[in-house]
Amino acid sequence: MSSTVLAASTSLDFSLTQKLFVIALCALTAFISHMALAVFNDGVRPFMLDFIQGRSKRTATTAVSFGLSAGFIFGLGAPMALSSGVLNPWLLFLPTDILGILAPRKWLAPLLGGAWGAVVVFGLNGANDVAHDLPVDFLTAMQQMSTPILFLFTLFPVLAITKQFGRLRGGLAAVLELALVIMTMKLWPNVFAGSLAMAAGVLLLIGFAVRKDLLQRNADRAAALAAGEETSGTGQQGAAGDDPMASLFSASALRLRRYLPLFMVLGAGVCVLAQMHIFGGGEATSFLIAKGQYSEAAQVDFYRVFGFIPLIATTALASGAYGIAGFTLVYPIGYLLPNPVLAAVVGAVVFALEVLALSSIGRVLGKLPSVRDSSEHLRSAISDTLQLAILFGSLLAANVMGGGIAILIVGGLYLLNEAMGRPVVRMAAAPAAVIVGGVLLNILYWLDLFTPVKG
């Protein structure tokens, strides 16, 4: 259990080199967003085609980006960074999506992006220091989120298997994962307990999906042979190549390839950021990076890749806008590389291969419907497990910083957000409630109406 407990305080005091690098990368991502070549928010990407083709104005697209991103920036990105001491993509790349699209001129986009990066690296640590000096230290209390996030996140492959392949296989996967967690805790206490379990779960899911697709393909081939339609089936496949969607995908892929050097620079930058170990690509990853468990963090982010490759590939081919982090493979690769120079080279190569392979990946996904469905179930399962873990962790944080009254405030704000139709997205609502609750408790303390819980 000690492997999931953070230090009593976190620090966002980066070196000057790290600060300048973050500023430069934010400037680059804002510029790329301005060019409509890539955005980080998967929900914004489908709207980029209308923007690229001139059917949607810059202000309207900015409004969409802000509406889909603001909750994650202030409700998840900032709280996670302050509580873990590690930067994350919601805090860095969602704002540069917005600023890049908002900027009316090319030269203004990198200036706005760089300014945001400066706010993060120079301002966040000051806010962190002030918060830790308050009578009710809600940032230290928020570190309670680490244990439920890390352990409940382990179950996402089980949920995905259950949703796609039924209760029996899901139950077997759950038993296997529990056994592997217990074995890891017993035999390798210094290793994150969920590492082997997640690996086994993801492999089982992929295995089930591939087996189903292969069996279906063999059954279809056998039926075609029996009916004497093998030749006509081949002709139908050729006709499918004239599908308007295939033409759109081809045009989008060509558009992205024209900017391959710029994407290689982006890939190098994101990979170097991960290699610096001041950045985590996910909720669980942030806490693992904060504890120096880089190999475990790489495993976690690597498993997430399988849930996002189909989404990112298809939306990129449909819209002509790629992902700021690509398929996110540069995250786990960067965590494990020994120096920034190698990370820059490898990141550039990985992004180049991803962009060049987009069309091929789209065709492969079209032939593996069960694998494509698995990615959707994985994303849904990741969201479900993290929503529960973050809510539970936020209530633990409330209990630490103020006992019952803090649970009342934090839980009440969360429930109020639900009753109001979720103006703050569910995943970000609980951490945001902890921060608001912490501020309220400090005000009550200064009014002599509340006594902090003694640690």
> For residue range 239-291, what is the model confidence (pLDDT) as tens digits?
444 555 555 577 888 989 999 999 999 999 999 999 999 999 988 899 999 98
**Could you tell me the pLDDT band of residue 7, with boundaries at 50, 70 and 90?**
very low
Rounded Cα distance, 101 and 32, in Å: 9
Question: 207: buried, middle or exposed (CB in 10 Å: 19+, 13-18, 0-12)?
Answer: exposed
Q: What is the pLDDT of residue 241?
A: 46
Q: Which long-range contacts (CB under 8 A, 24 or more apart) does 311-314 make?
A: 311/42, 311/375, 311/376, 311/379, 312/42, 313/358, 313/361, 313/362, 313/365, 314/362, 314/365
Q: What is the pLDDT of residue 157?
A: 92
Q: How far is CA 411 from CA 7, 147, 342, 384, 406, in A?
A: 26, 19, 46, 18, 8
pTM of the model: 0.85
Q: What is the pLDDT of residue 2?
A: 40
Question: 268: buried, middle or exposed (CB in 10 Å: 19+, 13-18, 0-12)?
Answer: buried
* Average pLDDT value for residue range 353-382: 86
